[in-house]
């Protein structure tokens, strides 16, 4: 194969790969939640980490589905700023272990499976940053 032909093939493959990569990046950006309506409801990660996003701009976390109402370990306010979900803890079950007024930013990825993935962008509360991120499936 000549050098010229090799370069034509190489450039052609590069253009195709760059186009595909641009499509993947664009598709990922389109799959980020930008409003509360996209995540309303109850979600579970594993078998014992429940989150419920309510229409009043709060979400609560609990170890069981029943505890979301009766004994959540935290209640947080949330709002979207573009693709960032900005949260602040409103109430924590253990006062010595709360995040207080530390503001945090998360990203909510809307997965093709119907699940969501919560990704920390910035959070100075180590407990919350360790507990909230992960993949959650809807509770039906």
Same domain as 49, residue 20:
no
- Do 55 and 121 have their domain in common? yes
pLDDT of 116 above 60: yes
Among the ranges given (27-31, 112-116, 128-132), the one the predictor scored with the smallest mean pLDDT: 27-31
Same-domain status, 53 and 122: yes
Work out how many domains the chain is built from and give that number.
2
Same domain, 47 and 71: yes
Give the CATH number for residue 90.
2.40.128
Same domain, 115 and 47: yes
Same domain, 50 and 97: yes
**pLDDT-derived band of residue 10, with 50, 70 and 90 as boundaries?**
low
Q: What is the pLDDT of residues 15-62, one digit of tens each?
A: 455 444 444 444 444 599 999 999 999 999 999 999 999 999 999 999
64, 81: one domain: yes
**pLDDT for res 25:** 45
Same domain, 73 and 109: yes
Domain that holds residue 2: 1-30
Q: State the SS3 of the chain.
A: CCHHHHHHHHHHHHHHHHHHHHHHHHHHHHCECCCHHHCCEEEEECCCEEEEECCCCEEEEECCCCHHHHCCCEEEEEEEECCEEEEEEEEECCHHHCCCCCCEEEEEEECCCCCEEEEEEEECCHHHHHHCCEEEEECC
pTM for the model: 0.76
Instruction: Say yes or no: 56 and 7 in one domain.
Output: no
């Amino acid at each position: 194969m000549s050098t010229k032909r090799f370069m034509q093939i190489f450039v052609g493959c590069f253009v195709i790969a760059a186009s595909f990569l641009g499509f993947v990046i664009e598709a990922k950006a389109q799959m980020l939640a930008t409003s509360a309506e996209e995540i309303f409801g109850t979600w579970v990660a594993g078998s014992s980490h429940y989150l419920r996003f309510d229409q009043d701009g709060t979400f609560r976390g609990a170890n069981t589905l029943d505890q979301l109402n009766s004994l959540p370990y935290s209640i947080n306010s949330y709002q979207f700023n573009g693709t960032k979900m900005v949260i602040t803890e409103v109430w924590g079950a253990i006062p010595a272990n709360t995040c207080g007024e530390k503001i945090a930013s998360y990203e909510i990825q809307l997965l093709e499976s119907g699940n969501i993935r919560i990704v920390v962008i910035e959070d100075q509360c180590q407990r919350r940053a360790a507990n909230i991120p992960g993949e959650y499936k809807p509770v039906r």
